Amino acid sequence: MTNTSDTPIHTERWRSVELSMSAAHDYTDPFVQIEVEAVFVGPDGASVTRPAFWDGGNQWKARFAPPAVGEWRMETTCSAPDDHGLHGATARIVAHEYTGDLNLFRHGFLRVAESGHHLVHDDDTPFFYLGDTHWALPHERWNTSNAEGVASQFRYVVDKRVAQGFTVYQSEPIWHPHPQGVRHHGPDEEPIADLRHGVTEAALDGLRNLDAKFAYIADSGLVHANAMIDWVARPADFPDDYTPQRMARLAKYWAARYGAYPVIWTIAQEIDATFSGMFVGDAMKPWTAAIESLRASDDYRHPLFPHQESTHLTTARSSRFAHEEWHDGFAAQPQWDDSWDTGILAEYWSSGKPALVYESPYEKFWTDERHALSALYKSYLSGMRGYGYGVSGLWNDVYSPDGAPLDAGTEYQLAPEQAAVESSVVTSTEKGSGEVEGPKWLFVPTTRRVWWFEGANSATGDQLGYGVRFLCDLDWWKLTPRFTDPAWSDFAAAGRGFLATDENDLYVALFSDGTSRTGTLRGLDTDAEYDARWFDPRTGEFHIIAGVSIGSSGEWAVPHKPSPEDWVLHLHRRAAV
C-alpha cells in the first residue's frame, strides 16, 4: 500500500506487510540503475533495514515483518537522491501481538539455538523440522488441478501437509528445464521467472507467481526452505550472464522480495561443495557473491544452510562453507536406506552445528514407504535435527496421471531405461493454433511414475505426523545420540538400531533390521524404576511392556519387538511419588 497521509498501517508481530512507492523518474533498467533501502525503527530504538525491490513500471515495494509489538517508522533512501518518490518516503506501521495459533507467528522467525544443535524460534521455543520436498514449485498449479474436487494443486498439498503436522516446505523456486527435466506444456502452465538477464518486465509474472506461493506457505504456518535465483548449474552454463556482480544483485533482490517471510536459505541444489565438480575454484565466485550479498541484505538473519551433495561426496568435514561466518548449519543428503553410516552422522553431531537430513531417498522413487517413514526416527535419534521427506509425484511435480502425455517438472529416471520418448511434434492439427508448440512425449510405464495426487495421499504423510507428536512429547531437543557407544547399548544389528537418551532418564531407540531382534540397553540407574512401551510408527499406537527389570549392572535386555516391522522403544524413568 502507498502511505502518503501518515495514516498508520496495522499488522501483527512477525506478519509481513507490503509498502509501495512510485519512482518520480523513468529508468530504462531500474533493476540495475538504482537501489532503494527502507529502514524501520521501532520500540526502544530497534532497527531493521530491508532492501526494496522493483516490481514493474515505476513501482517499488518494501516488505517488512515487525519483530516487536509497537510503532515502527519507515524511511527510505535511494541511490538516486533526486528521485523524491523513492528517496525519503515514509510510513508508520503499528504492530500488535499475534492472536492466532500458528507457532511461526506466536514464537517468531527461526535462528540457531544457543546449544548449536537445533533450530529455535525467536523466543527460544524449539522448532521441530519435518519438511516436504517440491523441486518444481513454479509449476504447481495455483488455480487449477486435475484431481476431482480439488481447486488448486498447490494449495491442496500445502493444506494437507499442515494438517498432518509438517512444518517446512522445501523448494527449488526458480526451476528451469535442464538435462534432468522437460518443461510442462499444459494450457494452464504457471509463469516462470527467468533471471538470466536480471529482473526484467518479462520475469515479473514468474516472480508474482512465487509471491502468492511464498505468502500462502507462510500464512499456513510453514517455514519455506528455499533455494534462490536459478537452477544451480546455470551460472556455469551462462558465465557471461551470471557474473558475480549480477548474482550479488539478484541475491539482494531475492532477500528483498522474500526475506520478510519465515524462511531458511538453502542457496541452490547441492551447492556444497562443488555440484559434482562443476564449481571448482574460481568457478564458485558467482554463487559465493550471491551468498555474501544475501547475508548482508538479511537483517532478520534467517538460517543459512547450503544444500549439500550426497554424503558420499560431501559431509560436515568436507563442506566447502562450514568455516564461513555466515554458515549456520548443514542441509545434508544421506542417500541411505537400511544401514546408516554412524561415522558420518557422528561427524555432523560433533560439528556443533544443526544438521538436517534435507534430502534422503524419495518414497516411490529411490525407496519404499517403510524406509521413508523410518528415516524420520533415524534422523532425530542420530542427532540430525530435521528430516526432509520426499515422495514421487510431488518433489518432481508429475502432473499427469498414468497413461497421459508427460506433464512433469522433472522426468529424471521415471522409467528404468528412458523416462519419455519424443514421438512427434504437436502441430496445428492437434492444437488448432497453427503453430508448432514443441515435442509430444509418450511414457514407458514404470512404478516410479506417480501422479502428484497419489503422492500427496501416500499413507506415509499421516504416519510421519504420528512421529511428530511422539517426538515432540519427548522434548526431542534434549536427546543425545549414542551411535554405537557400548557404554549405552549393544544392539543385534549394527547400523540398524538407533538410540538417543536424555542422560539415563529417557531412552528412545528404533529397531529396523527386519527381524524381531533387539538388544541391550546400558547405563540405567539401578536404584530407579522404569516404564517401557513400544511405539508403532505406522499407527501411532503404544504397546505397554510389562515388568521392566534392571540388572545390577544397569543393563536391560529389551524384549523382542511385537513384529519384524520397524518399532520404536520408549523407556523412561518413573517419576517419584
- 147-188 pLDDT, tens digit per residue, is 999 999 999 999 999 999 999 999 998 876 655 555 676 777
Long-range contacts of 493-497 (CB under 8 A, 24+ apart): 493/517, 494/339, 495/338, 495/339, 495/340, 495/341, 495/342, 496/338, 496/339
pLDDT at position 109 is 98
Amino acid identity of residue 486, one-letter, is: P
The pLDDT tens digits for 273-303 are 999 999 998 999 999 999 999 999 999 999 9
- pLDDT: which is higher, 423 or 140: 140
Task: Give the confidence band of 429 by pLDDT, cuts at 50, 70, 90.
Answer: very low
Helix/strand/coil for 357: strand
β-strand partners of 63:
18
pLDDT at position 181 is 55
Task: Give the confidence band of 528 by pLDDT, cuts at 50, 70, 90.
Answer: very high
Pairing mode, strands 420-426 and 387-389: unpaired
Q: How far apart are CA 164 and CA 570, in angstroms?
A: 22
The pLDDT tens digits for 458-512 are 999 999 999 999 999 999 999 999 998 999 999 876 656 799 999 999 999 999 9
pLDDT at position 177 is 61
The pLDDT tens digits for 141-150 are 999 999 999 9
Nearest CA among 9, 3, 4, 53 for reference residue 30: 53
Residue matched to cell numbers 529455535: 120
Helix/strand/coil for 133: strand
DSSP string, 266-287: EESTTTBTTTTTTS-GGGGHHH
DSSP class of residue 21? Answer: E
DSSP class of residue 126? Answer: B
CATH of domain 482-573: 2.60.40
Could you say which of 3.40.50.12780, 3.20.20.80, 3.30.1490.20, 1.10.580.10 is the CATH number of the domain covering 110-413+448-471? 3.20.20.80
pTM greater than 0.75 (yes/no) = yes
Domains 9-99 and 482-573 equal at CATH topology level: yes
For range 264-270, the mean pLDDT: 96
* Domains of the chain, residue spans: 9-99, 110-413+448-471, 482-573
The pLDDT tens digits for 363-421 are 999 999 999 999 999 999 999 999 999 999 999 999 988 888 778 887 767 754 444 44
Q: How far is CA 423 from CA 375, 399, 408, in A?
A: 39, 20, 17
- The cell for 255 is 532477500
Yes or no: domain 9-99 corresponds to CATH 2.60.40.10: yes
Q: Is the pLDDT of residue 428 over 50?
A: no
Q: How far apart are CA 190 and CA 210, in angstroms?
A: 10
For range 316-333, the mean pLDDT: 97
- The cell for 443 is 511414457
Contact yes or no for 384/122 (Cβ under 8 A): no
- To 5 degrees, how large is the angle CA 202–CA 204–CA 208? 145
Q: Where are the beta strands (DSSP E) in 384-437?
A: 387-389, 420-426
pLDDT at position 182 is 55
Helix/strand/coil for 182: coil
